Amino acid sequence: MTSFFWISFTFGRFGSVLLERWYPEDPFYVMAAQLVVLQLGWMSVLGNPSSETALWLAAMLVGGGVGGLFAGFIGQLSKRVHFSSFVGGCMGFGAMSGVALWNTSAASLGN
């Protein structure tokens, strides 16, 4: 299931790039579509938490939905606000640090 999530994440990342190229004048709608896909994934698991099918569906939808959000957000932000590569690196570091903190906290609380 983890591999399926990351495959969906990869397709979501590339798919969002294609959507940004096809609809460059409406970047908001591309991000909104990604958020809708992400929400559908969460709702499938919350609606039926004991279903293995819902877990697989959620892995696909959440992976595909979240795949392009960060890169899409940075791309849209860079079109509107000028920031240096240092600031971009700090934003990436901050996002990855948050993920690492979350994973560490979840692992320590799980045992």
Indicate the domain borders of the chain.
Answer: 2-68, 81-111
Determine if the pTM surpasses 0.75. no
What is the predicted pLDDT for the residue at 110? 64
CB contact at 8 A, 37 and 82: no
Query: Which tokens sit at 85?
Result: 């590569």
What is the predicted pLDDT for the residue at 111? 54
CA–CA separation, 1 vs 75, rounded Å? Answer: 30
Q: What is the DSSP letter of 81?
A: S
CA–CA separation, 58 vs 53, rounded Å? Answer: 8
Query: Which tokens sit at 36?
Result: 């809708």
Question: pLDDT tens, position by position, for the chain (111 residues)?
Answer: 888 888 988 888 888 878 877 877 777 788 888 889 888 988 988 888 888 898 899 889 988 888 877 777 766 776 777 778 888 788 778 777 776 776 777 777 765
CB contact at 8 A, 62 and 38: yes
